[in-house]
Structure 1
């Protein structure tokens, strides 16, 4: 179903959880979940040799900050990696929505550059925060519905955004549907 369908309704959280939990298989420390977009854990994000080998040119740390995973631009200063930090706890009460568009824009610009490098989005385990930001990117720039985005990522990696993040993705889905529907009429 496309977001342009007039009868489209954002699925309830229970349906999204069903999508997230079906057909689970082992995930690695990192997985390419969309062309040139990887989701990973912190260990991968700190392995500069591996990042170079994978061709990673952009890192988004969805657990940025001293009380989370304190890598930051300084950590990558001896590389050619561009860094973007999002200081987000993995808490259902945290409002991650303000980070959707700036992070999606960072990913979009990274993938649009002539010297196109790959993008790594990570948090502690690569399951909730980083996955949420990648899903938002797919919804905003690739025009996928929340269900389509979940399906696309889950083919490559087991993810499980917390319930608060899922609710915020549902709201984004609903808002994008209205914007796209209104743009048609």
Structure 2
């Protein structure tokens, strides 16, 4: 990754009225004035607004790290650029080096504005600014951004899966999770559908008349999760995945075919006790009758089919019932 000293000192116009640069030219009042910049989007840590009388500023706090959550920054950043350009403004997007963070924001804007895939948007940027290079984590998130139809919404299952993986990475790297995002308890009352709760849970938007798959505690019949909270996974290699524990025992040719998943893997839910106390692993109990339903492990665990799931929030199929009921 290049540092700021390797980047041209001028602004680069990517498309009409949209520019990219490193920190150095963005810190020059003469360069901003000469290019008639009206709006600045500064992306990084501890960014400043040096010329508030000349330009309008928006600061996006984002680390240039593959683990950083670029997706959560995109809606407001894209809206800022769109509004400025629609009012005949000239927008400069900059970070420190003008390579990864600012490039990622501009690629995301082009993707949404022109309904492009990641490679197409990056190619447009490369034509004017060949050194643009979103880091590997940002690239992955931008590809997901296209899959999400350019909308970042906690109601979207794929985005919540991304957040789950990110929380597990944070837990492994930092030893804690800065912000838990939990699936909402299906029995919890929420005044406004689709609004995150205090702990980050999201109440599903009601779908009147629709009946969906639910999992209930086998003992007390308490609803635990709905279909959207269940994580599907591809079956693993069966008993051969556990061969290192067999101490030479024969597995037989049909071992894989006989292996079945005996667990449901779910999202971390609001009703799971202990998720906010820093524990790596623990048991999952029914919030009503306190029967043990399964266990969780932020570092992951192996399903009976052999597939490794990270993070793992597993309910034993023998402890829950699959039912079809009205959408809560």
2: CA distance between counterparts of 1:58 and 1:76?
11
The alignment partner of 1:71 has SS state of: coil
In structure 1, what is the equivalent of residue 72 of structure 2? 98
Deviations 1:131-162 (A, max 9, x none): 00001111112222211101100000020110
For residue 89 of structure 2, the aligned residue among 105, 117, 122 is 117
For residue 155 of structure 1, the aligned residue among 127, 149, 157 is 127
Alignment of 1:3-152 (within 5 A): 28-29=8-9, 30-65=11-46, 70-72=47-49, 75-79=50-54, 81-113=55-87, 116-152=88-124
C-alpha distance 177-38 of structure 1, shift in aligned 2 (>3 A): closer
Q: More strand by proportion, 1 or 2?
A: 2
Aligned residues of 1:27 and 1:156 also touching (Cα < 8 A): no
RMSD: 1.8
In structure 1, what is the equivalent of residue 183 of structure 2? none
Aligned residues of 2:99 and 2:134 also touching (Cα < 8 A): yes
1:101 Cα deviation from its structure 2 partner = 1.1
The alignment partner of 1:126 has SS state of: coil
Is the aligned partner of 1:171 residue 2:144? yes
Q: TM-score, normalised by structure 1?
A: 0.73
1:78 Cα deviation from its structure 2 partner = 2.9
In structure 2, what is the equivalent of residue 182 of structure 1? none
In structure 2, what is the equivalent of residue 17 of structure 1? none
The alignment partner of 1:109 has SS state of: helix
C-alpha distance 94-31 of structure 1, shift in aligned 2 (>3 A): same
Aligned length: 144
Q: More helix by proportion, 1 or 2?
A: 1
2: CA distance between counterparts of 1:136 and 1:144?
9
Structure with the bigger RCO (C-alpha within 8 Å, sep 6+) is 1
Q: TM-score, normalised by structure 2?
A: 0.42
Gaps of 5+ in 2: 1-5, 152-328
The alignment partner of 2:39 has SS state of: strand
Aligned residues of 2:100 and 2:134 also touching (Cα < 8 A): yes
1:64 Cα deviation from its structure 2 partner = 4.3
2: CA distance between counterparts of 1:43 and 1:89?
18
2: CA distance between counterparts of 1:109 and 1:95?
23
1:27 Cα deviation from its structure 2 partner = 6.5
1: CA distance between counterparts of 2:107 and 2:114?
10
Largest Rg, 1 or 2 = 2
The alignment partner of 2:119 has SS state of: helix
